[in-house]
Structures are given as structure tokens and as C-alpha cells.
Structure 1
Amino acid sequence: MAYEPAIGIERLGTVKEIAQAASVGVATVHRVLKGQPKVSPSTSRTVLAAVRKINEQKISLARGSQGS
């Protein structure tokens, strides 16, 4: 996780984290997030599912640490 000192919490998922979670390359994550047509629909779904999962986990962790 990357720490964002300006807001005092962890940032949402990085491209590298998303690529690792989706078992694809960083370039593929970029293509999916930019909506480029050179990615199969199943790969796009896999990448977007990884984005949701990572970001939900990080948001949940951030909410838990705000009360501390």
C-alpha cells in the first residue's frame, strides 16, 4: 500500500497491485482503465473485479483506523 501523507491514509490500489491481483501485466491494467479496445471482455472483468476488491479492502481498513 502506498501512504498518502497529505490525507494521512493509505491510497487506493496502485496499478502494480491491481495487475498482481488480476494476474495480468501493468500495461493490461492501463488498457482496461483507459477503456482501450485491445483487451478481451473477460480480462477486463477480471481487472475491474481486482480494482473493486483492493479498493474495498483499503477503504475498509481506512474506516477502521479513523477511530483510533
Structure 2
Amino acid sequence: MTYEPAIGIERLGTIKEIAAAASVGVGTVHRVLKGQSNVSSSASRTVMDAVRTINEQKITLARMGDRS
């Protein structure tokens, strides 16, 4: 995770991480996250699945770190 000093917490998935996990370009991720209509429903599902997976992993890792 990337530490975000301005807000004092770990940042969740980045667009680059999401794009890599979904095997799509960063532009596609950007369009899906902005809710633009020029993205196929299949690509939207793939991107949103990647977002959920990455963020769940990072949240789990952060919680495990809190137990130390």
C-alpha cells in the first residue's frame, strides 16, 4: 500500500494496480470509475471486480498490521 501523508492513512488500489489486475488500460479504469457510458458492461464488471479484490486485500493486510 502507498502511504498518503496528507490524510494519514494507507491508500487503497491505484488506477495502475487496478488496470494490471483487470488486464485493461488505465484509461478504461478511469472511464469505469467515472461512470462513463463508453465502456462495455463486461469491462466494467472486470474492473469493479479488480477494485474489490485489491481493496479487500489491502484492508485485510492493514488489519493484520494493527494486531502487532
Q: State yes or no: 1:10 paired with 2:10.
A: yes
Whole-angstrom CA distance in 2 between matches of 1:27 and 1:17 = 13
Dislocated runs of 4+, deviation >4 Å: none
Q: % of aligned pairs identical?
A: 73
Unaligned runs of 5+ in 2: none
Amino acid across the alignment from 1:50: A
Whole-angstrom CA distance in 2 between matches of 1:2 and 1:17 = 11
TM-score normalised by L of structure 1? 0.90
Unaligned runs of 5+ in 1: none
TM-score normalised by L of structure 2? 0.90
Question: Residue in 1 aligned with 2:44?
Answer: 44
Matched residues, number: 67
